[in-house]
Amino acid sequence: MLTKRIIPCLDIKNGRTVKGVNFLDLRDAGDPVELAQFYAENGADELVFLDISATEEKRKTLADLVLRVAEKVNIPFTVGGGISSVEDVDVLLQSGADKVSINSSAVKRPQLINELSAKFGSQCVVVAIDAKKVEDVWKVHLVGGKLATELNLFDWAKEVEQRGAGEILFTSMNNDGTKNGFANQALAQLSTGLNIPIIASGGAGNMQHFADTFKEGKADAALAASVFHFKEIAIPELKEFLNEEGILVRK
């Protein structure tokens, strides 16, 4: 049985880590390099670094910041934001990233998933899907959640897998920043319908929420930001709690 992963997420805007609620009202959460080093030393299994305004501002991810973060961590490190080509990924992997996360660019040109998977291997390609439940239907959203599409979450997730993605990072916009728990029903549907790992994102507020998303949501990993950034949950204590709940985690 594979161990479940705990992944802090660093949302970056103007070189700083930020956190909001339902993708809005961003507030400063600290220096990304310092935070990354802290998490690497305190039990995080992986890190995700998302340059959240890169797509909206039509610019590339900050490769120099990736380099500085990579120098401080010894755990797998995923980078996303503004990635739209094989060349973009090349730069980030050379800067020290282990995996890349694509979102809007994959929806606009799905063949990009095939290209990245063929060039770098599926284990390197994470497709992030931001979705919002509207009138009982999960619709995919782009550009940091600002642009609604007609794409159905589950149809798109299936296509993403078929095109060669190695993992899906699913963020529920309804749950994001609310601290009311993850979207476990949707997560369970994704997990049972696909053969690649699903990372749960959006809604972590307490330790029980993590246990619930592994048990009920069948998630392979749980990603969170504010509860870690603002020291509401310590990762070593979270792992101890999950262990007591019978959930296999790395020490």
At 94-118, the pLDDT tens digits run 999 999 999 999 999 999 999 999 9
At a CB cut-off of 8 Å and minimum separation 6, what does 123 contact?
A: 99, 166
| pLDDT given for residue 251 in this prediction | 81
At a CB cut-off of 8 Å and minimum separation 6, what does 250 contact?
A: 3, 5, 45, 239
Judged against a pLDDT cut of 60, whether residue 59 lies above it is answered with no
Q: How many CB atoms lie within 10 A of CB 121?
A: 12
| pLDDT given for residue 160 in this prediction | 98
**Domain locations along the chain:** 5-244
pTM of the model: 0.91
C-alpha dihedral over 40, 83, 28, 73, to 10 degrees? 10
Closest CA to 91 of 53, 46, 54: 54
DSSP state of 123: G
Q: Which whole-number Å values give the CA distances from 153 to 6, 114, 135, 138, 150, in the listed order?
A: 23, 19, 14, 5, 9
> At which residue do the structure tokens 């990304």 appear?
32
Hey, which residues are catalytic here? 11, 130
Confidence category of residue 60, pLDDT binned at 50, 70, 90 = low
How many residues are present in the chain? 251
Strands 5-13 and 16-21 turn out to be: antiparallel
User: Percent of the chain scored above 90 by pLDDT?
Assistant: 72
Report the phi/psi class of residue 137: left, alpha or beta, with left for phi > 0 and alpha for psi in -120 to 50: beta
Q: Which two tokens stand for residue 213?
A: 């998303």
What average pLDDT does range 13-41 have in this prediction?
Answer: 71
Confidence category of residue 11, pLDDT binned at 50, 70, 90 = confident
Q: Which whole-number Å values give the CA distances from 157 to 25, 202, 234, in the listed order?
A: 28, 17, 31
- Architecture of domain 5-244 in CATH? Alpha-Beta Barrel (3.20)
**Which residues face 18 on adjacent strands?**
11, 28
Q: Which two tokens stand for residue 71?
A: 């120098």
| pLDDT given for residue 53 in this prediction | 64
Q: Which two tokens stand for residue 89?
A: 């990924």
Judged against a pLDDT cut of 60, whether residue 41 lies above it is answered with yes
What average pLDDT does range 122-146 have in this prediction?
Answer: 92
| pLDDT given for residue 24 in this prediction | 47
Q: Which whole-number Å values give the CA distances from 102 to 81, 198, 222, in the listed order?
A: 7, 15, 18
